[in-house]
Amino acid sequence: MSTETFEFQVEARQLLQLMIHSVYSNKDVFLRELISNSSDALDKLRLEKLWDDSLDADVSDLHIDITIDQDSRTLTVRDNGIGMSYEEVGRLIGTIANSGTAKFLQELKEAKDAAGQEGLIGQFGVGFYAGFMVADEVTLITRRAGEGQGTRWSSRGEGTYTLETVDDAPQGTSVTLHLKPADAENQLHDYCSPWKVREIIKRYSDFITWPIRMLPEADPTATGPDDEAPEPETLNSMKALWARSRDEVTDEEYHELYKHVGHDWRDPLETIRLQAEGTFEYQALLFLPEHAPHDLFTRDAKRGVQLYVKRVFIMDDCEALLPPYLRFVKGVVDAADLSLNVSREILQQDRHIEMMRRRLTKKVLSTVKELMAKDRDRYATLWREFGTVLKEGLVTDPENREAILAFASFASTDQDTEPTTLKQYVERMKDGQEDIYYLTGESRRSIEDSPHMEAFRDRGIEVLLLTDPVDEVWADAVGAYEGKQLRSVAKGRIDLDAKDDDTPDAEREKQAEDYAGLLAWLTEELDEDIKEVRLSSRLTVSPVCVVSDAHDLTPALENMYRAMGQEVPSAKRILELNPEHQLVKGLNQAYKEREDRSELAETAEVLLGLATLAEGGRPKEPARFVKLMADRLERSL
């Protein structure tokens, strides 16, 4: 078959351009990326052969070779792993499947300065394309294990690549970089230097469990068959970091392992080691990343850690080892007593795995708690990036609820910048305050301005300002903390401490009597949407607000359940009037005086619309609402 030329997918082309005009200063990492891919490919082949012994592949000496050719200025990384089919090369190398690519590129465009761009590239990681930081041409030859024909891919990184089939490709993949000239100013080292290559491998890839060998260059002075061919040299120690004693491993080494398993270019925020001895022995090396991946909330996102059995890689993305709300945790778990051909299905039911999951979960949660105590900044980063996911655990993992609440923190009316924990909130509670108050909404601003907050603001009662969709769900599920009810200020009756209330009881009763007729009439008038109209004790400035009954779902929750495909009935809400407001007083007056109440009925509709708008909702019939409002404004001119 002849050579065919293809265009890179748009996103891939843009990323390549970035690599070529490299915004990323540490160019040495290209080699780490190629070796990381080769290591994955060797893992995959070993597993595939384990599952299917009839696979026509040689697994007797799985390894990675590095060859340097000074004359042609090429560096080749070759593995005898799983390889790729013709179709796979086009799909895996010509496109970028990461669902966050478009968003990432947009952010990249917006980041004007080089430092911002470098940070973003590091966050995204660009794997194979990193080769184009140091090479002006990359050629890849690969043959999928078990297949007869190989594929040759080649590109100069300028928008197109070529593909052709080759007959004599060895099993696995070789990537040959035609190196750019060394250029110290741009941190482009001489990657033809065996010394440099040795150093990079030692620094970034020492823990790789497959041998990385450097083949000596052909010696031009060799004269005859008597000269012994020099032996290849193994560059890495291959020691699994989690099997080495703690003080033997540097932070940098841990970080490089993280980059390999996490497909991230940045250092992790925290490294967690755990060693379980006894009847079921295992070691875990877990990492908390510094940034959330773009696909944290997509269904098909990769999650879970790598599972090893006695240093041998068994599976990627092992979901059984951590609960879904810890899906951002990366790392390696090495269990001594599992079968090598354990399957995902078996793992889901295995008693030992269940024990491991509980222990690992507790360890991660206690680490976050410690982080909060010892390093506020790093804790704040973690909570900003993963707080939303961790809060899912409050709903799905009652066993660890307390542990999560120990470090969960929230914005509050009392704190301008620092979020508060529930514990801190309780410590600040006023004498006589019995409940923990919160309000949910789209943004801090919109919650603070909500009419529901008025009485609380007046009395200086602290309210938690919750802006994540999951907040309403967990607040509902958790219910109480240290015996204090969690109460939404937009739900149920609010009866703030009577001591502070300067309205005497007798006066209240008179007020109730005075409004009784209007309230009854309005309740009937708005019956379709509202279950009750009553006087409010939470309003001081606004005329009206809508609230939910204490045990009803709020509109936001209803929407969320519907988005998840669940049928939920629409709960009618309650309209509250501020008896001290001039508009409400006037309305009462008009109600008492007029026989014809058709105009008043419209006013009632407008009031309901206003109350809905004030809490961030939308009136039932927006166009009609606008018309009614416009009519009234016109008359007031």
Q: Which residues bind Mg ion (CB under 5 A)?
A: 36-37, 127
For residue 395, the minimal CB distance to ligand ADP (Å) is 31
92 binds ligand ADP (CB under 6 A): yes
For residue 326, the minimal CB distance to ligand ADP (Å) is 21
Q: How far apart are the first and last CA of the chain?
A: 82
Alpha carbon distance 438, 445 (integer Å): 14
For residue 176, the minimal CB distance to ligand ADP (Å) is 12
For residue 607, the minimal CB distance to ligand ADP (Å) is 57
Compare residues 205 and 450 and give the one whose CB is closer to Mg ion: 205
79 binds ligand ADP (CB under 6 A): yes
Compare residues 28 and 33 and give the one whose CB is closer to ligand ADP: 33
Q: Please choose, out of 81-89, 201-209, 313-321, 324-332, the segment that lies near ligand ADP by the rule CB under 6 A.
A: 81-89
Q: How is residue 570 annotated by DSSP? A: P
H or E segment at 38? helix 29-51
81 binds ligand ADP (CB under 6 A): yes
Compare residues 127 and 323 and give the one whose CB is closer to Mg ion: 127
Alpha carbon distance 326, 355 (integer Å): 16
The residue sitting closest to ligand ADP, measured at its beta carbon, is 127
205 binds ligand ADP (CB under 6 A): no
Strands (E), 236-394: 270-276, 282-288, 305-309, 312-318, 330-335
For residue 614, the minimal CB distance to ligand ADP (Å) is 48
For residue 114, the minimal CB distance to ligand ADP (Å) is 23
Interaction pattern, residues 313-352, with ligand ADP; x per rule: CB under 6 A: ----------------------------------------
Neighbours of 483 (CB within 10 A): 7
256 binds ligand ADP (CB under 6 A): no
Number of residues this chain uses to bind ligand ADP (CB under 6 A)? 15
16 binds ligand ADP (CB under 6 A): no
Tokens 């009763």 identify what position? Answer: 509
Compare residues 175 and 465 and give the one whose CB is closer to Mg ion: 175
Query: Choosing among Mg ion, ligand ADP, none, which partner's interface includes residue 489 (Cβ < 5 to 8 Å by kind)?
Result: none
Compare residues 82 and 575 and give the one whose CB is closer to ligand ADP: 82
Please name every residue paired with 215 in a beta bridge, in sequence order, or none if there are none.
67
> Which residues, including other chains, have CB under 8 Å from residue 522's CB and lie 6 or more apart?
533, 575, 604
Asked if residue 206 lies in contact with residue 253, where contact means CB atoms within 8 angstroms, the answer is yes
> Which residues, including other chains, have CB under 8 Å from residue 182's CB and lie 6 or more apart?
188, 189, 190, 191
- How many Å is the maximal CA-CA distance in the chain? 120
Interaction pattern, residues 216-255, with ligand ADP; x per rule: CB under 6 A: ----------------------------------------
41 binds ligand ADP (CB under 6 A): yes
Instruction: Categorise residue 501: left if φ over 0, alpha if ψ from -120 to 50, beta otherwise.
Output: beta
- Scan residues 551-570 and list those touching ligand ADP (CB under 6 A): none
HSE on the CB side for 527, CA within 13 Å?
4
For residue 95, the minimal CB distance to ligand ADP (Å) is 10
Alpha carbon distance 556, 469 (integer Å): 8
Helix, coil or strand: residue 287: strand
Q: Which of 104, 124, 128, 437 binds ligand ADP (CB under 6 A)?
A: 128
For residue 66, the minimal CB distance to ligand ADP (Å) is 13
| φ and ψ of 178, to 5 deg | -90, 105
> Which residues, including other chains, have CB under 8 Å from residue 185's CB and lie 6 or more apart?
none
For residue 406, the minimal CB distance to ligand ADP (Å) is 35
The residue sitting closest to Mg ion, measured at its beta carbon, is 127
Q: Please choose, out of 76-84, 183-191, 294-302, 572-580, the segment that lies near ligand ADP by the rule CB under 6 A.
A: 76-84
Q: Please choose, out of 19-27, 79-87, 245-253, 530-538, the segment that lies near ligand ADP by the rule CB under 6 A.
A: 79-87
For residue 382, the minimal CB distance to ligand ADP (Å) is 23
Please name every residue paired with 534 in a beta bridge, in sequence order, or none if there are none.
576
127 binds ligand ADP (CB under 6 A): yes
| DSSP per residue, 391-446 | HHHHHH-GGGHHHHHTT--EEETTEEEEEE-HHHHHHHPPTT--SEEEEE-SSHHH
Alpha carbon distance 211, 632 (integer Å): 81
361 binds ligand ADP (CB under 6 A): no
Alpha carbon distance 332, 316 (integer Å): 9
Q: Is the torsion defined by CA of 401, 403, 404, 408 positive or negative?
A: positive
For residue 33, the minimal CB distance to Mg ion (Å) is 5
Please name every residue paired with 175 in a beta bridge, in sequence order, or none if there are none.
77, 140
Asked if residue 309 lies in contact with residue 336, where contact means CB atoms within 8 angstroms, the answer is yes
Asked if residue 157 lies in contact with residue 16, where contact means CB atoms within 8 angstroms, the answer is yes
Query: Choosing among Mg ion, ligand ADP, none, which partner's interface includes residue 84 (Cβ < 5 to 8 Å by kind)?
Result: ligand ADP
Query: Choosing among ligand ADP, Mg ion, none, which partner's interface includes residue 615 (Cβ < 5 to 8 Å by kind)?
Result: none
Q: Please choose, out of 77-85, 327-335, 447-455, 557-565, the segment that lies near ligand ADP by the rule CB under 6 A.
A: 77-85
Q: How is residue 230 annotated by DSSP? A: P
Q: Which of 173, 236, 388, 554 binds ligand ADP (CB under 6 A)?
A: 173
Residues that bind ligand ADP (CB under 6 A): 33, 37-38, 41, 79, 81-84, 92-93, 127-128, 173, 263
